[in-house]
Amino acid sequence: MMMLNVSHIQHFSVGDGDGIRTTVFFKGCNLHCPWCHNPETISQAPTTLHYKSPLGDELRGRLLSVEEVLCEVLKDKEYYEESGGGVTFSGGEVMLQAEGAQALAKRLRERGVSLAVDTAGCVPWHAFALLNPYVDTYLYDLKTASARRYATVIGGSLSLVLENLRRLLTAGKQVRVRVPLIPGFNTDSRSLVALRDCLREVGAQTVDLLPFHRLGSGKYEAMGLAYPYRAVKPLGEARLAHIKDYFSPYFTVKIE
């Protein structure tokens, strides 16, 4: 029986693709972005969040069969059909469980459910080859165009991320590139120009800009961790409009 390591399943998600969606958060990530707003999904081990509020403790992470996850997400099938939505695989990094994700994706395709996959793309191409026949849209994160910063701050390979992105686009897959806007990391003029030029070079058509927020900060406290971006303020509307101007002449741009 094919099993999946799942952090949690969120019904009626917004921002994880078109329409009303159910998002399956996979457990485990091979990167360590210091601003991550889902820190409970990084470790493959079960994670307990100790909240001081009436919420109490929450355990994130359990092994579920493909059939169990399928049964849960199909509860919302009517909402998908009415809204043009579907299921999103997110994480963590979905592609670290590519074989299990493929098995679930195939079952969703058989039932006519649209699938989006949220990925950082820092995995061998084989993982994409398994999922490609069943994925309608990739939500593909690109965090920086600096190979050095990708390696030292995020812990991955920029060249691998870009090569996978190029191959997806060449294969004609629908890809929405998502750029998290992190103050002090990639929102200065030099970084934005490098990101823009990098995306033009690989042939991207759409760019979703994801403004930094601190909505996940409470999770760090609940996990007994210090949040590195606790004192960082979100970008103002004027600054976001200015950043959008870097990309809008070349791409279809959306600020999430």
What confidence score (pLDDT) does residue 215 get?
A: 83
CB 16 within 8 A of CB 79: no
Task: Indicate the residue type of 255.
Answer: I
Mean pLDDT of 16-34: 96
Average pLDDT, the chain: 96
Q: Does the pLDDT of residue 165 top 90, yes or no?
A: yes
What confidence score (pLDDT) does residue 248 get?
A: 97
What confidence score (pLDDT) does residue 132 get?
A: 98
Mean pLDDT of 76-96: 97
Q: Does pTM top 0.85 for this prediction?
A: yes
Q: Does the pLDDT of residue 56 top 90, yes or no?
A: no
Q: Does the pLDDT of residue 66 top 80, yes or no?
A: yes
Q: Does the pLDDT of residue 54 top 90, yes or no?
A: no
Q: What is the CA radius of gyration of the chain?
A: 18
Q: Does the pLDDT of residue 103 top 80, yes or no?
A: yes
Q: Tens digit of pLDDT for each residue in 168-221?
A: 999 999 999 999 999 999 999 999 999 999 999 999 999 999 999 988 898 999
pLDDT classification of 41: cutoffs 50, 70, 90: very high
191: Cα within 13 Å, side-chain hemisphere: 19
Domain boundaries, the chain: 3-255
Instruction: Determine how β-strand 3-13 pairs with β-strand 62-65.
Output: antiparallel
What confidence score (pLDDT) does residue 23 get?
A: 98
Homologous superfamily of 3-255: Aldolase class I (3.20.20.70)
